[in-house]
A and B are shown apart, each in its own frame.
Chain A
């Protein structure tokens, strides 16, 4: 697409429809953090594609002034990865809830980590199913009473970051929608990371999950970015930190600058928008294919 004249990108460029989230919902903070990160990076909104899942969180793609795709419940990552392969010039960000990403869509997360396509994945984690009005999520603590677990949840919660680290993820971070400044810094780094990045964001649901609210998190989150003794290049240290804090950390927990991004592993893949290539085969390509088949009358 044509190069537009250099104009400073502002927050206004990133505003779209008015959010319909409950007042006080953590998702407002995630939206703001993401808008800020993109403005800080001075990326023009038309160069960004936000792919979102289904849930309160999934509505984010309608509220940010980029291109958007509000797809199926749990299926953000395939759409996002393919869009990035199809047009590597796009900044592609997938967003969704914890049910979306760690429940119904967890299989795709496992493989996205493995594949390491350059996509940033922001999970808006509220430990509950918001849009379907308050059922147990894969992150809901054991024993928590929800609408689908009136006698307390009997499923152990999943540790998304522990899982990602174990799977060999190349960028693992955690933010909090109550700390927008810090979140924007984390998201900036995630977007700049070349490869797949997972950013789990504590995004309180003020309607269905009061126990796990802003105060609770503010009092407990341990900031690793502020800890000069912490090295984000050490996967084992990251796992130890998760264990020590019960997962209540904030910041960039781990980054592996060495792990090769997927497109670099593809043989002869042209790293340019494939849109420009929607054309029949060139005559020499066609001939090569013909020759490889068993052909008579050559």
Chain B
């Protein structure tokens, strides 16, 4: 029987090449034409500990990296025990024979010890243990003895013929070791129709999206899981005439981004929780001086260093409410890898249209998980710069009404360099001309004007039409609500429920400021609502309560450092339905 998908996972200690083995398998399956989704579990250390790379291969677009593992390649016993709960009756465990592997008591699946290291040495060196593992995998999947020969040429050709030959040998040795066990190969999933698909992670999608948005400057301080944006842009920005500046800290990073926007360039920064906290004052100066800026918070486990390499969504309150004073702010949250490409473009447009900070609420899964997406899923949107006033004028210095009161709250923005309109933006309260004031009347007028922009944005079709992603029948009694990287497990759970004949609706928030109050109220009115989020206190549920003035939401929470599985969401749904 043809299967719809197959999950392969490789695990071991960090620094053993687990990541490159996983990435290679992922790439091969992608290039073979399958849909792929992956998740890399890793720890904040360089050598040792435990890491694994899970790859799901399918004939249809995949929502998650999968709950169960069909083939587990375990370089150590820990890698078996860590994920024994993902094994099922048909699972095959290729385990490192040298480590005396065993399946835990009562664990389903079949253990196949292979001496990865000895075979690798036989092929020419211990570092080829991963290639041996790929050979062993190949035998279980019915691939030929020479199936990867071309990959080795393209991947290692630069390193010389000997390296290519050694890898071919390593593959063959692994393949033979398993082939001779005479296990009937697992069926591969049916191949989808060929298509133009690109293999990428959310961080790269955001980096690329920023270039499509016309941004040519990026400022950041390294932090997991946002560093991949910095690294990707460091490679590409110079090629398109721009530059990356690695800032001395996140306070600097956000102020750099603000300075570049002030001078008229679209610039941004990306960080995670600790860095985002350092940016809070910067958010205020952007809001007060009406300077556009885009900030990505790729959330991870907090507080403090928390779980620095693990997914979480516990910065939501800070994203929505952080920084001091009353401020306008727009919050956009991508739901999928491909959506991250849209989100960053939408963020730049909103930042310039509303001349305020825009925060992109992402998370570690979304930032780092690698998958392939159909090219047409990467949506490009036109660059909209909002109201720029670049006509020369004849104003006496600092008399140009930079902060004039308008119906929309948006005042035309002049850029330094325009003759006859010099103006000084100030972080103090100011008059229409930008003069510092402590008088009540301009204070009230300017505060009202700035906040007015949020009302205008709330009616902006570009934002309202994108605010919610919904699926499932509108009249379903049960609604699952989430934001950012939980899209996959929630949607997969909904689809499984549907297949069981249990109707459920999925509402995913993609714009959280302005909060889509009306649209969301219409969705949730009179329904059983289960809010699925990765934090301990139910921050999204709290926000729904605050914004909708209603209560009775159920929460499905997870904060153990691992991504939601579809099964966990399903279990939570069943609990709610049973009540």
A-to-B contact residues, CB < 8 Å: 1-2, 4, 13-17, 44-51, 54, 59, 61-62, 65-72, 75, 77-87, 89-90, 107-108, 110-111, 115, 266-270, 273-275, 277-281, 285-286, 288-290, 293-298
Chain B 172-208 interface 0/1 with A at a Cβ cutoff of 8 Å (1 = within):
0000000000000000000000111111100010001
Q: Is the interface of A mostly helix, strand, loop or mixed?
A: mixed
CA distance A192 to B251 in the complex (A): 29
Instruction: Give, as a whole number of angstroms, the nearest-CB distance from B459 to chain A.
Output: 25
Which one of A4, A50, A290, A297 contacts B195 once the chains associate, using CB atoms below 8 Å?
A: A297
Q: A46-B419, A72-B427, A296-B31 are in contact. Are A280 and B256 (CB under 8 A)?
A: no
The answer to whether B194 touches A78 (Cβ under 8 A) is: no
The answer to whether B417 touches A87 (Cβ under 8 A) is: yes
The answer to whether B241 touches A83 (Cβ under 8 A) is: no
- Residues of chain B within 8 A of A273, CB atoms compared: 263-265, 417
The answer to whether A62 touches B248 (Cβ under 8 A) is: no
- Residues of chain B within 8 A of A48, CB atoms compared: 416
Which one of A1, A46, A111 contacts B248 once the chains associate, using CB atoms below 8 Å?
A: A111
Residue of B nearest to A266 (CB): B243
Which one of B208, B219, B242 contacts A289 once the chains associate, using CB atoms below 8 Å?
A: B208
The answer to whether A1 touches B27 (Cβ under 8 A) is: no
The answer to whether A90 touches B416 (Cβ under 8 A) is: yes
- Residues of chain B within 8 A of A13, CB atoms compared: 397
Residue of A nearest to B417 (CB): A1
CA distance A107 to B251 in the complex (A): 10
CA distance A96 to B498 in the complex (A): 63
The answer to whether A294 touches B198 (Cβ under 8 A) is: yes
The answer to whether B419 touches A44 (Cβ under 8 A) is: yes
- List 18 A-B residue pairs with CB atoms under 8 Å apart, sorted by A's residue number: A2-B419, A46-B421, A48-B416, A50-B424, A62-B426, A67-B417, A72-B284, A78-B256, A82-B245, A83-B262, A86-B217, A90-B416, A275-B263, A277-B242, A280-B383, A281-B211, A293-B204, A294-B30
Binds A, one of B78-86, B123-131, B232-240, B514-522: B232-240
The answer to whether B398 touches A294 (Cβ under 8 A) is: no
Q: A87-B265, A296-B195 are in contact. Are A72 and B212 (CB under 8 A)?
A: no
The answer to whether A86 touches B426 (Cβ under 8 A) is: no
The answer to whether A268 touches B264 (Cβ under 8 A) is: no
- Residues of chain A within 8 A of B261, CB atoms compared: 86
- Residues of chain A within 8 A of B251, CB atoms compared: 75, 78
- Residues of chain A within 8 A of B530, CB atoms compared: none
Q: A86-B260, A296-B30 are in contact. Are A65 and B419 (CB under 8 A)?
A: no
* Contacts beyond the supplied A78-B251, A279-B214, A280-B214: 10 A-B pairs with Cβ under 8 Å: A4-B392, A70-B424, A72-B255, A72-B281, A72-B427, A79-B255, A82-B267, A86-B262, A274-B242, A289-B211
B-to-A contact residues, CB < 8 Å: 27, 30-31, 33, 194-200, 204, 208, 211-217, 219, 236, 238-243, 245, 247-249, 251-253, 255-267, 281-282, 284-285, 289, 372, 375, 380, 383, 385, 390, 392, 397-398, 415-428, 434-436
- Residues of chain B within 8 A of A78, CB atoms compared: 219, 247, 251-253, 255-256, 259
CA distance A280 to B216 in the complex (A): 10
Which 10 residue pairs spanning A and B have beta carbons closest together?
Answer: A65-B397, A68-B424, A82-B259, A79-B259, A275-B264, A78-B255, A86-B265, A67-B416, A86-B263, A278-B214
CA distance A274 to B258 in the complex (A): 14
The answer to whether B427 touches A1 (Cβ under 8 A) is: no
Instruction: Give, as a whole number of angstroms, the nearest-CB distance from B269 to chain A.
Output: 10
The answer to whether A47 touches B208 (Cβ under 8 A) is: no
- Residues of chain A within 8 A of B33, CB atoms compared: 296
The answer to whether B421 touches A81 (Cβ under 8 A) is: no
The answer to whether A295 touches B196 (Cβ under 8 A) is: yes
CA distance A80 to B263 in the complex (A): 9
CA distance A259 to B91 in the complex (A): 63
- Residues of chain A within 8 A of B423, CB atoms compared: 67-68
CA distance A82 to B3 in the complex (A): 54
The answer to whether B263 touches A295 (Cβ under 8 A) is: no
CA distance A104 to B157 in the complex (A): 53
The answer to whether A278 touches B265 (Cβ under 8 A) is: yes
Which one of B260, B263, B267, B435 contacts A17 once the chains associate, using CB atoms below 8 Å?
A: B435
Residue of B nearest to A80 (CB): B259
- Residues of chain A within 8 A of B249, CB atoms compared: 107
- Residues of chain A within 8 A of B420, CB atoms compared: 46
Instruction: Give, as a whole number of angstroms, the nearest-CB distance from B238 to chain A.
Output: 4
The answer to whether A83 touches B198 (Cβ under 8 A) is: no
The answer to whether B243 touches A67 (Cβ under 8 A) is: no
Q: A17-B435, A85-B243 are in contact. Are A280 and B196 (CB under 8 A)?
A: no
Q: A86-B264, A294-B31, A296-B372 are in contact. Are A16 and B398 (CB under 8 A)?
A: yes
The answer to whether B241 touches A46 (Cβ under 8 A) is: no
Instruction: Give, as a whole number of angstroms, the nearest-CB distance from A126 to chain B.
Output: 20
Most buried by A among B198, B255, B259: B259
- Residues of chain B within 8 A of A294, CB atoms compared: 27, 30-31, 198-199, 372
Q: A71-B255, A267-B238, A294-B199 are in contact. Are A65 and B217 (CB under 8 A)?
A: no
Q: A17-B435, A68-B424 are in contact. Are A46 and B263 (CB under 8 A)?
A: no
- Residues of chain A within 8 A of B266, CB atoms compared: 278
CA distance A78 to B213 in the complex (A): 23
The answer to whether A82 touches B217 (Cβ under 8 A) is: yes
- Residues of chain B within 8 A of A71, CB atoms compared: 255, 258, 285, 289, 427
Instruction: Give, as a whole number of angstroms, the nearest-CB distance from B198 to chain A.
Output: 5
- Residues of chain A within 8 A of B426, CB atoms compared: 61-62, 68, 70
CA distance A69 to B242 in the complex (A): 24
- Residues of chain A within 8 A of B214, CB atoms compared: 277-280
Which one of A61, A62, A274 contacts B265 once the chains associate, using CB atoms below 8 Å?
A: A274
- Residues of chain A within 8 A of B217, CB atoms compared: 82, 85-86, 274
The answer to whether A281 touches B240 (Cβ under 8 A) is: yes
Instruction: Give, as a whole number of angstroms, the nearest-CB distance from B473 to chain A.
Output: 34
The answer to whether B427 touches A16 (Cβ under 8 A) is: no
